[in-house]
Structure 1
Amino acid sequence: MSEATVRRDRAAGDEAIERRDVVENADLAEGREMPSTRRLGDELAAMPKHHRVYLVLRQEILDGRHGLVAPMPGEVALAKEFGVSRITIRTAMDRLTQEGIVERMRGRGTFVRERGDSPIGASLSGNLENLMALGLRTDVRVVDVDYLPAPPAVAAEMDLPEGTTMQRAVRVRSLSGVPFSHLTTWLPEEIGRSFTPEELGREPLLKLIERTGRKVASARQVVTAMLAAPDVARHLKVEVGEALLSVRRTVHDGEGRPVERIFGLYRPDLYEHETSFSRNPDRSGGIWKA
């Protein structure tokens, strides 16, 4: 859709927007109660109201529920819908504006801006080459590297005795200067000492592991959600308590030995996982395999 077409269609709705705003502002001026038509979920209750509204509106925009031509509902309408104050709505819209997701036009309303880059994707179809390629496309900042006794859960996952010394590294991965993942990795000590922190910031970790002669062959992972702790929120530039995509992965070599345990936290607005499935011909009942 051309910019001229979008501008013309937006202008056509200006009169209707003004009429709507007059009615809404009259209701507000006369003090009439505006009951909520939608309540924010209990799962977001720990977050500030403006941040909860921001998250919901951002997701609706990313899902395409608000188009480019028609304006978004006004502050009064959104305040009624969410059961919050106009100040709360304005604060949420300010953040969407600052992030370039929406654009405010004086006297015309707030419009969704055309999306630029798509979220960063990592195909998890079973091909570990995709994870290596992700490392080559993005920038990494090494936050910390140390050698510590492995926590019981990590030691068990890596088939090592509890308390075994392992390398623990924390990294933040970014694209075009915007952080999108916080990664904590645990490696066997002999693998960790085979490279420097500088190399860890330059090369994909899987390549560094394979440089030791341990050919990476498979991985098993669990994907869930987790709330951002203060230190993670600071590195990813999100609010404390914001929902993040959590990935726990164990990587094995060709002999089935664990070579890496990784805990990844990802901003869901900038990162998405894609998994491919195919029908398993050896099983009945519609069983799928990745």
Structure 2
Amino acid sequence: MIEHHSPTPLYHRIYAVMRERIIKGYYRSDTPVPSEAELAESFSVSRITIRRAMEMLTMEGLVTRARGRGTFITDRSNENELNRAVVSNVNGLFRYLNAVGESTRLKVVSLDVGEAPPRICAQMGLPPTAELVRAVRVRSLDRRPYSLSIAYLLPEIGGTLKRNDLATTNMIDLVQQAGAVVEQVEQTLTATLADDYAAKHLDIPVGAPLMLVNRLFFNAELKPFYAAEIFYCADRYEYRVSLKREDGKDFALGN
């Protein structure tokens, strides 16, 4: 039963619960999910409320409605290879980025020069009003938005970028073609929510859960020259790390 005393609309709370169930594999893909009447009884709400929640799931591509057959979980098996990549070093990251590039399509949203956000300037060790080249792109997988990436680059590197190249080539390849040497990459993963900008380009509701991957690229002098913020729909992205014990590096926990 859904708690009714909340400022969040009831249909949106049911949408969030259903979305989590779908992502966690609560429903089988070869059988229809419960009907609107069954869900209305389960959640103790009206069918209209359930219908609005299901419409949001349909718009997001998580479910598919088949007339006369019911509503089914959308098959996302083609995404598994990208979603479950294991990255352990810079070369592994490059291999992963190449695999993503081969499996997705790019759309360039914008390419411009302007004052960078304070958080990016702080990451790159630049003055708060520094100007950087900004490139915004959307990747699509199976005709659905897969990620929204915002790249910030020093002018001496980003100034060589061309819009046509951005539509066909991985950014990491473009910056190396511009003469940059990637010596080190720092990466952080954070859970966040879609604002109006991300929601628009990823075709999801405002407030939908996202995974934010922030990457900071360092040159041969270990100075940052490129920062990237990549937003992934939470149900389409999974990051895995494999940890192995090193020979001769065993240690014992203290008492």
Q: How does 1:25-64 map to 2 (within 5 A)?
A: 36=1, 38-39=2-3, 46=8, 48-64=9-25
For 1:67, the equivalent position in structure 2 comes to 28
Residue identity matched to 2:155: E
Q: CA deviation at 1:111?
A: 5.2
Relative to the length of structure 1, the TM-score reads 0.72
Q: Contact (CA 8 Å) 1:132, 1:206: kept in 2 or not?
A: no
**Which whole-Å CA distance do the structure 2 matches of 1:183 and 1:195 have between them?**
15
Which deviates further from its counterpart, 50-59 or 230-239?
50-59
Residue identity matched to 2:20: Q
Q: Contact (CA 8 Å) 2:214, 2:228: kept in 1 or not?
A: yes
Change (3 A) 1:41 1:216: farther
Gaps of 5+ in 2: none
Relative to the length of structure 2, the TM-score reads 0.80
Residue identity matched to 2:166: L
* Aligned-partner SS, 1:215: coil
For 1:204, the equivalent position in structure 2 comes to 170
For 2:78, the equivalent position in structure 1 comes to 117
Q: Give the alignment's Cα RMSD to 1 decimal.
A: 3.0
Gaps of 5+ in 1: 1-35
Q: Between Structure 1 and Structure 2, whose CA radius of gyration is higher? A: 1
Count the aligned residue pairs: 246
Residue identity matched to 1:124: V
For 2:63, the equivalent position in structure 1 comes to 101
Change (3 A) 1:216 1:142: same
| Correspondence 1:88 to 2:49 | yes
Q: CA deviation at 1:233?
A: 0.8
Aligned counterpart for 1:128 among listed residues 72, 93, 96: 93
Q: CA deviation at 1:40?
A: 8.9
For 1:268, the equivalent position in structure 2 comes to 234
Query: Percentage identity across aligned positions?
Result: 35
Residue by residue over 1:112-165, the C-alpha shift from the partner in whole angstroms, topping out at 9 and shown as x without a partner, is 566552354243332122123322332111111111233333222113333222
| Correspondence 1:223 to 2:186 | no
Residue by residue over 1:3-48, the C-alpha shift from the partner in whole angstroms, topping out at 9 and shown as x without a partner, is xxxxxxxxxxxxxxxxxxxxxxxxxxxxxxxxx2x54997xx64x4
Residue identity matched to 2:93: L
**Which whole-Å CA distance do the structure 2 matches of 1:81 and 1:207 have between them?**
51
| Correspondence 1:240 to 2:206 | yes
Change (3 A) 1:219 1:78: same
